[in-house]
Structure 1
Amino acid sequence: MHKRISKSLAIFLALLLLFAVSGCAEQKTNNPTTVTTAVADNQELETTLELSGVLVPAQTVDLSSKISGQVTNLGFNVGSAVKAGDVLIQLDTEALKAQLMQAEAGLQSAEAAAQSVQNQASLAKINLDAAQKLYERTKSLYEAGAVSQSQMDDTTDKLNIAKNQSENASGPAQNQAQAAINTAQANIKNLQVQIDNATIRSPLDGIVTNQSVNVGTVVSPGVPVISIVDTSILKMKCTVTQDLLPLLSINQEMDIKIDSYPESKFKGSISSIGPIAVSTGEVFPVEISIKNNGSLTAGLSAHASMNTKVSGVVVPASSVAQNGGENCVFIIKDNIASKRVVRTGLKNDKGTQILMGVNAGESVAITNVNTLTDKMPVNAN
Structure 2
Amino acid sequence: MVDKTDKIIVGISIGDLNGIGIEVILKTFEDKRMLDFCTPVLFGSVKVISHHKNVLELDVPLHGIAAINQINHSKINVLNIWKEDVAVALGQATKISGKYAAKSLEEAVKHLKEHSIDVLLTAPINKETIQSESFNFPGHTEYLAANLEGKGLMMLMTSQLRIGLITGHIPISKVSDAITPALIREKVKTMHASLKEDFGISKPKIAVLALNPHCGDKGVIGKEDDEIIRPTLAAIAETGVLVFGPYAADGFFGSETYKQFDGVLATYHDQGLAPFKALSFGSGVNFTAGLNAIRTSPDHGTGFDIAGKNKANATSFKEALFAAIEIYKTRKEYKELTKNPLFVKR
Indicate whether the TM-score tops 0.5: no
Return the structure number with greater relative CO, CA threshold 8 A, min gap 6: 1
Which bracket does the TM-score occupy, shorter chain normalised? under 0.3
TM-score, normalization: structure 2? 0.20
TM-score, normalization: structure 1? 0.18
Instruction: Please state which structure has a larger fraction of its residues in helix.
Output: 2
Instruction: Please state which structure has a larger fraction of its residues in strand.
Output: 1
Between structure 1 and structure 2, the one with the greater Rg is: 1
